Structure 1
Amino acid sequence: MSALFNNYARRPIHIVKGSGTTVIDDKGKSYLDFTSGIAVLSLGHSHPVIVNAIQEQSEKLMHISNLFESPEQEQLAQSLIEGTHFAHAFFCNSGAEANEAAIKLARKHTSKSTIITFEQSFHGRTFGAMSATGQDKVKSGFGPLLQTFKTLPFNDSHALEEAVDDSVAAIMLEIIQGEGGVNEITPEFAATISCLCKEKGILLIVDEIQTGIGRTGTKYAYEQTILQPDILTLAKGLGGGFPIGAMIGTAKLYESFGPGSHGTTFGGNPLAMAVASATIGQVFNKQFLEDVKKKSVFLVSKLCEILPENQFELRGKGLLLGIKCKEEVASIIQQAEENGLLLVQAGSNVIRLLPPLTVTEEEMEQAVSILSSLVLTAQYK
């Protein structure tokens, strides 16, 4: 029996090395990694910029705690808010922590307790973030959760308008629901949210744990909508493989997070700051973001060539794409792995593609070639 708890349904391969989009297991087999550690490895595996940042910073200072000033945090915060309407940042260690901070800040600032979230959302597995998540399978077995969340159908303006009352502190959502099926917000729903938040004085929390840091072709996915969040949460791609989370917010929220209101032992440590700064130094480059958009167009065009019309639905933006199938996709993902392509599900019937933002056209063609025979076989089996 393993010395580990059995809370992960692990795949039976042991990855020991990676470079760019390619990883190698302990038997020497190579795979194209179109999971990126679930949207984490913005620059791929073992990118020299990240490797150098870890090495150089680890030789100087790894941890000092938030008892002391941190110019490194100031620098990264400035880089994240530059060119946006945001003014301040808080650093932690994960997306769930970032969402916990956002929930606390929204409730403290408004002195209200209700937060509206949406079905098929995923905000994390800590208690508050789990309560916010709109998927029963995540919550099963844990007893009563926080009762101050209202979970509504996604992209349903009427349901949202009916649910809003004077108790609502914030609306919390993902621009694209990654875990929930690669479900994208509609322009009409975004407009409804924008109007309600302005009219009712409701805060808007946008969870960009998976969509942020260039994943959809812009710094943040909300920039491709009408929405102007009060709070934005980040993680995954921000560290390019190193654990870090962040919450950024507007100037009006500053006084609500004073000394002692929230904290973290490891959040904002010098090593995380160095790696994240190195990562966004690459990703936030204008040409890099344009290249992500071009790669998305290329990958989408190749996928459209192989997906039979009316049999599959292509979803998502940038390099967060989903292929909705009529049947469950677990067997396709397993077969893809056997053929040297690592993929991840988004619900039971959606194949999620999350290559590193540095993926090449040749690698995308190789991945599509592997997928081609598998989806066609699945269609006609």
Structure 2
Amino acid sequence: MSSAIVNRQTFDEVMVPNYSPAAFIPVSGKGSRLWDQDGNEYIDFASGIAVTSLGHLHPELTRVLHEQVDRLWHLSNTFTNEPALRLARRLTESTFAERVFFSNSGAEANEAALKLARRYAFDHFGAEKTKIVSCKQSFHGRTLFTVSVGGQPKYTEGFAPLPGDLDHIEFNNLAAAEAAIDGNTCAVIVEPVQGEGGVLPASPEYLKKLRELCDKHGALLIFDEVQIGVGRSGSLFAYMGYGVTPDILTSAKALGNGFPVGAMLTTKKIAASFVVGTHGSTYGGNPLACVVADKVIELVNTPEVLDGVKRRHDLIVDGLARINETQRVFRDVRGAGLLIGAELTGELAGKSKDFVNVGAKHGLVILVAGPNVVRFAPSLVIPEDDLQEGLKRFEAVVAEVLAAQSV
């Protein structure tokens, strides 16, 4: 059975139907190109939802993974291991953080951050300081806790009763933040750029206000940088570009370039509330994951890569503007670095998935960020020739979608 032929129909026969995958199955990739079972080639403007930020089969990542495969795969957390320590050292030397906790995903990193915030408040202020403030249209993961903290009711429908003492406020609304954050607040969690909520950057004033209010009321400020972190904003982490330092930062996605790994970064004082036995993860700090992530941070945290993100951002935005001059399909193009959202005009409202489906026909992999936004998240090092070819293919996608709309 293990050698039996599998195809897209196999998914419907054997998998839980919580996903609706594309009609084609990618089987190999290199750089910013993918190939499917039939040998068709695609330019990848999605990066596995902002994950493979150094492209597919990056030679340095492949090398260090192969070397570690021949040494050690796993240890329980009754031990530590060299790759985890090296990665933690690199992260603390590169950021505000003094302590690191490793997990397997962004949801787990956020779960750890939220638990730590409540535990810290319990230790320092008592049992009543438990409120968590987050933003409407945010996304922090799929565990029951993190999906409840995320402000999108469509993801919590049917899963009640939900964790309590959560307050969702309008993103980028200073007055709403002022009204919600008080002495009972233990933490405020925010994405510097909302990803799933429509690729919406926070204003500098908003993040500064959150920092001010957290300091005033003894709450911890958590930045969820699972999607925008590890270079995608044009800084190693987005907080650096904003000039606002959180108390806790979460990372995943691009951190492992496709190898599952997440991290929660914080200070020594805050980390002290996670005493032995308060939290854990069987696979967190896995040697294979950590050796890859260590190399990812080394490669990304360079002027060449980070400056290249800003240059590629301009190329994409300029390319989308040229398309829009003649096609008039976008009401707004926004984002940061190489996380860019193109919001569709009213006539195309609800049609973002059409662009994804037609894109596949033209050899282009793109994303949505809700029903009205087409999302672009290519590799941070995508060759500029691939980028321009991808924009050319996207122009053909736009023309086909519009033609179908007028029929």
Q: Which bracket does the TM-score occupy, shorter chain normalised?
A: over 0.9
The residue aligned with 1:323 is 342
Please give the secondary structure, in 2, of the residue aligned with 1:134: coil
Q: What is the Cα deviation at residue 72 of structure 1?
A: 2.2
* Structure 2 residue identity aligned to 1:132: V
The residue aligned with 2:274 is 257
The counterpart of 1:193, out of the listed 198, 201, 210, is: 210
The residue aligned with 2:7 is none
Rounded Cα–Cα distance in structure 1 between residues aligned with 2:388 and 2:95: 35
Residue-by-residue CA offset, 1:254-275 (whole Å, 9 max, x unaligned): 3111111111111101111111
- Contact 2:98/2:266 (<8 A) preserved: yes
Rounded Cα–Cα distance in structure 2 between residues aligned with 1:132 and 1:7: 21
Cα distance change, pair 172–9 in 1 and its aligned pair in 2 (3 A): same
The residue aligned with 2:52 is 41
Structure 1 segments unaligned to the other structure (5+ residues): none
Which shifted more, 29-38 or 368-377?
368-377
Rounded Cα–Cα distance in structure 2 between residues aligned with 1:226 and 1:188: 11
- Contact 2:330/2:342 (<8 A) preserved: no
Q: What is the Cα deviation at residue 213 of structure 1?
A: 0.4
Q: What is the Cα deviation at residue 188 of structure 1?
A: 2.2
The residue aligned with 2:181 is 164
Rounded Cα–Cα distance in structure 1 between residues aligned with 2:65 and 2:149: 34
The counterpart of 2:357, out of the listed 324, 328, 334, is: 334
Q: In the alignment, is residue 3 of structure 1 matched against residue 20 of structure 2?
A: no
Cα distance change, pair 338–379 in 1 and its aligned pair in 2 (3 A): closer
The count of corresponding residues between Structure 1 and Structure 2 is 381
- Contact 2:332/2:344 (<8 A) preserved: yes
Please give the secondary structure, in 1, of the residue aligned with 2:14: coil
The residue aligned with 2:32 is 21
* Structure 1 residue identity aligned to 2:362: N
Residue-by-residue CA offset, 1:228-259 (whole Å, 9 max, x unaligned): 10000000000011000000001221311111
* Structure 1 residue identity aligned to 2:283: F
Q: In the alignment, is residue 76 of structure 1 matched against residue 76 of structure 2?
A: no
Rounded Cα–Cα distance in structure 2 between residues aligned with 1:221 and 1:4: 36
- Contact 2:140/2:146 (<8 A) preserved: yes
Rounded Cα–Cα distance in structure 2 between residues aligned with 1:29 and 1:244: 30
The residue aligned with 2:366 is 343
Aligned positions of 1:232-311 closer than 5 A: 232-308=249-325, 311=330
The counterpart of 1:356, out of the listed 338, 361, 379, is: 379
Q: What is the Cα deviation at residue 37 of structure 1?
A: 0.7
Please give the secondary structure, in 1, of the residue aligned with 2:272: helix
- RMSD across aligned positions (CA): 1.4
The residue aligned with 1:373 is 396
Which shifted more, 230-239 or 65-74?
65-74
Rounded Cα–Cα distance in structure 2 between residues aligned with 1:248 and 1:83: 11
Give the structure-2-normalised TM-score: 0.91
The counterpart of 1:137, out of the listed 135, 151, 154, is: 154
Cα distance change, pair 11–310 in 1 and its aligned pair in 2 (3 A): closer
Please give the secondary structure, in 2, of the residue aligned with 1:2: helix
Which shifted more, 260-269 or 76-85?
76-85
Rounded Cα–Cα distance in structure 2 between residues aligned with 1:310 and 1:192: 35
Rounded Cα–Cα distance in structure 1 between residues aligned with 2:267 and 2:303: 24
Rounded Cα–Cα distance in structure 2 between residues aligned with 1:204 and 1:106: 9
Rounded Cα–Cα distance in structure 2 between residues aligned with 1:98 and 1:265: 13
* Structure 2 residue identity aligned to 1:316: G
Q: In the alignment, is residue 89 of structure 1 matched against residue 100 of structure 2?
A: yes
Residue-by-residue CA offset, 1:336-368 (whole Å, 9 max, x unaligned): 111000011000010000111120111111111
- Contact 1:335/1:374 (<8 A) preserved: yes
- Contact 1:214/1:289 (<8 A) preserved: yes
Please give the secondary structure, in 2, of the residue aligned with 1:321: strand
The counterpart of 1:106, out of the listed 112, 117, 120, is: 117
The residue aligned with 2:331 is 312
% identical equivalent positions: 40
Q: What is the Cα deviation at residue 227 of structure 1?
A: 1.9
Rounded Cα–Cα distance in structure 1 between residues aligned with 2:230 and 2:176: 31
